[in-house]
């Protein structure tokens, strides 16, 4: 069995996959899975016709696109001890595997040290399967564009994993615009989507750490995500963002066995306020009709 399972999702990105899949297939000790998530380009058919060694997973029950769900489905269908998640627009050179093998361990996940290169490479990560499964994989409530990667990283760190950063020298992203990034998402404002995801991640993290669990129950996360979405709507619609927007939630959270009070029912209450550090800059970004798109 190979050591790594490389997982790449594709919806409307066949033009990128044609360039990157041959490179994925050159990586040593790596099996490759492509998720055709209702791809209008029929990317799964192209892969099957041209790369018989690549596993194709097809998802045909969602007219939109949920990258988190796509990756989780493929992870369950793969077999290797380490999962390598990479986007269809990322070119990976064979030398990347040396950098990965130098840092990865059963208790360590790795991503790319790409601080100076923007966000395009940040979603590439290598995760021990056992740790990925223990924290529940990607959060499928984050089904729009962006930040499902950083939310996973936060849970892995809270669960006791360490993180290593590999140099970006063996990776390159194919340039493209934001319109392509949001084609299959109902909300087109990347800034707005990231605000929602960021607040959801921070808010859920406080609840999660208070009871020391790797992931909250779905119904609890649904409440938090709905509240985060409402908060961002309030904040971006405000004529004066300086007071910020506030939400409060009460969640019944089961305390794990073995913890103090683990045999009792608990109700956690949390109120948080979100406000921009620079209200003028925020107003210019979100309320200028040339910059802010609902």
Q: Which of 164, 181, 198 represents a domain boundary (last residue)?
A: 181
The stretch 212-238 carries a mean pLDDT of 86
Tens of pLDDT, residues 82-112: 999 999 999 999 999 999 999 999 999 999 9
Same domain, 139 and 8: yes
Residue 294 included in any domain? no
Q: Which of 246, 248, 247, 256 is nearest to 217 (CA)?
A: 256
pLDDT for res 246:
77
Same domain, 20 and 109: yes
Q: Which of 127, 160, 181 represents a domain boundary (last residue)?
A: 181
Question: How would residue 293 be classed by pLDDT, with cut points 50, 70 and 90?
Answer: very low
Residue 12 included in any domain? yes
Q: CA geometry: angle at 120 spanning 170 and 11, to 5°? A: 105
Decide: 153 and 109 in contact? Cβ < 8 Å: yes
Same domain, 149 and 198: no
Same domain, 135 and 26: yes
Q: Which of 181, 207, 223 represents a domain boundary (last residue)?
A: 181
Number of compact structural domains in the chain: 2
Tens of pLDDT, residues 184-209: 555 656 777 888 888 888 888 888 88
The stretch 226-230 carries a mean pLDDT of 87
Same domain, 195 and 156: no
Residue 250 included in any domain? yes
**What is residue 28's DSSP assignment?**
T
Same domain, 52 and 173: yes
Total residue length of the chain: 294
Same domain, 90 and 210: no
**Model pTM score:** 0.84
What is the CATH number for 46? 3.90.550.10
Question: How would residue 156 be classed by pLDDT, with cut points 50, 70 and 90?
Answer: very high
Residue 242 included in any domain? yes
Same domain, 107 and 242: no
Same domain, 243 and 267: yes
Domain containing 131 equals 4-181
Q: Which of 118, 103, 92 is nearest to 7 (CA)?
A: 92
């Amino acid at each position: 069995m190979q050591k790594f399972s490389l997982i790449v999702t594709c919806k409307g990105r066949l033009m990128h996959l044609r360039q990157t899949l041959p490179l994925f297939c050159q990586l040593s000790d790596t099996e490759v899975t492509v998720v055709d998530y209702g791809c209008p380009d029929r990317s799964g058919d192209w892969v099957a016709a041209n790369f018989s060694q690549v596993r194709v997973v097809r998802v045909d029950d969602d007219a939109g696109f949920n990258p988190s769900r796509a990756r989780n489905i493929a992870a369950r269908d793969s077999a290797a001890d380490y999962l390598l998640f990479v986007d269809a627009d990322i070119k990976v050179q064979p030398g990347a595997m040396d950098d990965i093998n130098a840092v990865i361990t059963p208790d360590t996940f790795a991503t790319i040290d790409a601080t100076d290169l923007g966000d395009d490479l940040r979603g590439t990560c290598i995760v021990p399967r056992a740790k990925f499964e223990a924290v529940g994989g990607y959060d499928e409530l984050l089904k729009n564009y962006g930040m499902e990667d950083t939310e996973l990283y936060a849970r892995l760190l809270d669960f006791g994993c360490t993180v290593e950063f590999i140099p970006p020298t063996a990776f390159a992203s194919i340039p493209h615009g934001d319109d392509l990034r949001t084609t299959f998402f109902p909300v087109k404002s990347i800034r707005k989507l990231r605000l929602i995801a960021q607040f959801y991640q921070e808010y859920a993290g406080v609840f999660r750490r208070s009871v020391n669990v790797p992931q909250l129950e779905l119904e609890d996360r649904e409440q938090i995500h709905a509240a985060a979405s409402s908060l961002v709507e309030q904040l971006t619609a405000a004529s004066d963002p300086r007071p910020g927007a506030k939400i409060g939630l009460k969640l019944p959270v089961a305390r794990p066995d073995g913890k103090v009070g683990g045999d009792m029912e608990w109700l956690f209450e949390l109120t948080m306020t979100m406000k921009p550090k620079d209200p003028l800059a925020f107003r210019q970004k979100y309320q200028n009709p040339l910059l802010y798109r609902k």
